[in-house]
Amino acid sequence: MAEITKPSQEFVEVKEIKNGVVFLKRGGMRRVLMVGGINFDLKSESEQTLILNSFQNFLNTLDFTVQFFIHSRKTNIGGYLERMEERKQNEPNELLKIQIEEYIKFINSFVAENAIISKNFFVVVPYESIVIVNQARGLLGIFNKSKPSLKEKTDEETRLRENLEQLNHRVDQIVNGLGQIGLRAAPLNDEELTELFYNLYNPQLTEKKGLEIVKGQKP
């Protein structure tokens, strides 16, 4: 008997992406922030200590859990090499043309032995919505297939708006806290979120090198 494979959508917890918010199937919401990096190794010992202490203080101010992760993948430089080849063909100076040719050969040999990896840093800000059950409808309400009333729709829209406000408040808190450490954070829009999830779930197609997950909580 042939094994029945489930659609890949069943393994993805994302219900939809709208207005920069990731809505999960189980009811939670997430916003994803891209964070710029700093060259920690080039800092002096006192500066490193200050950054670590500031980051610890930042985590201590949070009353919710956040997730940090690093998305690393192999960079495709084929387009760059094609532009260099075009420049070589259009270069009238023979000496410069030879130098460009040598440069292209160097890049090709270097990439063959050393993969070029790009790293992006992200923070996931969560918010779990609270579902309130209408007790007046009783047990039989579970089996009631009628359309929700206007009041129920209004209450649902109000809860959604309040939940989004709470989520955005957390995002502002994260952005401001990281900014005080010298890290710039910006929320991803719908297109950027879609591309991120596509890369995560299609590592072979996007030449992704690896994914390192680090969960950050209050110490």
In DSSP notation, the chain reads -PPPPPPGGGG--EEEEETTEEEETTSEEEEEEEE----GGGS-HHHHHHHHHHHHHHHHT-SS-EEEEEEEEE---HHHHHHHHHHHHH---HHHHHHHHHHHHHHHHHHHHS--EEEEEEEEEEEEPPPPP-GGG-GGGGG--SPPPHHHHHHHHHHHHHHHHHHHHHHHHHHHHHHHHT--EEE--HHHHHHHHHHHH-TTTTT--EEEEEEE---
- Give the distance, in angstroms, between the CA of residue 180 and the centroid of all CA atoms in the same chain: 21
Average pLDDT, the chain: 79
At 64, list the tokens.
Answer: 């919710």
pLDDT at 145 over 70: no
Choose the most confident range, by mean pLDDT, from 14-18, 72-76, 129-133, 206-210.
Answer: 14-18
What's the pLDDT score for residue 136?
A: 46
Q: What is the mean pLDDT of residues 131-145?
A: 48
**pLDDT band with cut points at 50, 70 and 90 for residue 43:** confident
Q: Whole-angstrom Cα distance, residue 109 to residue 111?
A: 6
**CA-wise closest residue to 118 among 210, 40, 185:** 210
* Placement of tokens 């069943």 in the chain: 10
- Model confidence, pTM: 0.66
pLDDT the model gives residue 126? 94
Tell me which of 81 and 216 has the higher pLDDT.
81
CA distance 142 to 102: 73
Predicted local distance difference test score (pLDDT) of residue 79: 83
Over residues 105-132, the mean pLDDT reads 82
d(CA 18, CA 147): 24
Whether pLDDT at 218 is above 50: no
pLDDT at 35: 93
Whether the pLDDT of residue 132 is over 50: the answer is no
For residue 187, give the nearest of 204, 171, 210 by alpha carbon.
171
Share of the chain above pLDDT 90, in %: 33
pLDDT over threshold 60, residue 1: no
Token digits of residue 102? 């040598």
pLDDT of res. 202: 73
| Selected residue with higher pLDDT from 130 and 191 | 191
What pLDDT digit, counting tens, does each position of 198-217 carry? 888 776 654 433 333 333 33
Q: Predicted confidence band at 130 (pLDDT cuts at 50, 70, 90)?
A: low
* Among 29-33, 80-84, 196-200, the range of highest mean pLDDT: 29-33
- Give CA–CA dist 34/187, Å, rounded: 6
